[in-house]
Structure 1
Amino acid sequence: MRDNSDYALRDVDTVADLVREYPWTTFVSHVPETGLIASHYPVLLDEEAYASGRGIVLLSHMGRPDEEKHDLGNHDVLAIVQGPHGYISPSWYGYRPNVPTWDFAVAHLTGTVEILPDEENLRTLDRLVEHFEKDLPDPHLLHATKENSDYAARIVHGTVGFRINVASIEAKEKMNQDKPVASIRTIVEELCGPGLHHNPRLAARIAAVNHLDI
């Protein structure tokens, strides 16, 4: 990413929260025979590893044969986690001249890949499903019934679970930190409004980063 110290996100706890809140992740590998390969899967933050001080560790899986395309386990992988983002009109700043921009939060996480055995892969899939299902009125958990459990045991062989021990973090959060408070308030109001660029999640993020109440 372009280096810009004004928007650099160096707080690891904030990066960890970004993973928790926005788990849909892009995985990028460079494979000598085929070049760049990208795939998209949800991830979990390994909470036990994080609590023990091991830093950010990602848990995920790929459907076969994606792991072959990535040559998974034989080189580092880049995981891109992207938070809320959206267009910001210069008409919202309240002064001229100005130009439009795009606000965003993103983290580039690079690390080594550890392939999980089937048993641990199944536990990871179980945790992943529980993460998204647990608050639904009728959660469909992998091990809620014997039928679900038997089905999960069959499909696990069609996936490859893996752990990424993140060694490098490059993160950025561009949320109009360089603009006057009055402009930021207007931006938040416009994003919360019913217009073309309605984006309340981005508005909430801009307000939080700039310590504004909305």
Structure 2
Amino acid sequence: LVRFAKENRIDLTVVGPDDPLAAGIVDLFAAEKLRAFGPTKSAARIEASKIFAKELMRAQKIPTAEANTFSDSNEAVRYCERAKFPVVIKADGLALGKGVTIAGDPTTARSTIDEMMNQGRFGDAGRRIVIEKFLSGTECSLHALVDGNNYLLLEPARDHKRALDGDNGPNTGGMGAFSPADNWNSKLQAQFEKQIMARGNQFSRTSLSRVDNYQRRPPCAGV
């Protein structure tokens, strides 16, 4: 890609997929003095690792669902035996938007943990997992253009993640989206900017937050 960009005198490369961002394509282009739109490898960890994102939100005091992380499947199963259901089980790494399961009972939780951690359904991406408190609410995605010091929020959007009518199927990675989101308003935006964006941002180029309207404040489901 670097050779192609040089040979064809590409002025700007816009990186869409998560995997090359996580692998450091923006860093590679920058080292060759080529312009690329996207986060660096370090910044892309907020998307590439659910555990890192959760730790970041906790450290920055960004409201987020209660969660525990596991690298041992037996410990994860034991945790679920005393958990309040439903729970949300997430593969730590990138899984094309399909690495999240809402487990409504211990049986589903055990099978999901086994598939991710023991059977390798998502490869290394599922060797570690996050088990999170289920938040009931409507989701909204917010994108921001950032340069490390300043940010510009784009219009909020909502996507359709789960298959089948009534959201009874598995997560699909997204089946379309619409914008502006009908569950967003100026009060929530002011709260979002105060709780999340105003805390500082070293993640240049782009930032994405998924926020659930839950109770009176919007916890961040992902950064």
The answer to which structure, 1 or 2, has the higher relative contact order (CA under 8 A, 6+ apart) is 1
Q: What's the TM-score, normalizing by structure 1?
A: 0.24
The structure where strand makes up a greater share of residues is 1
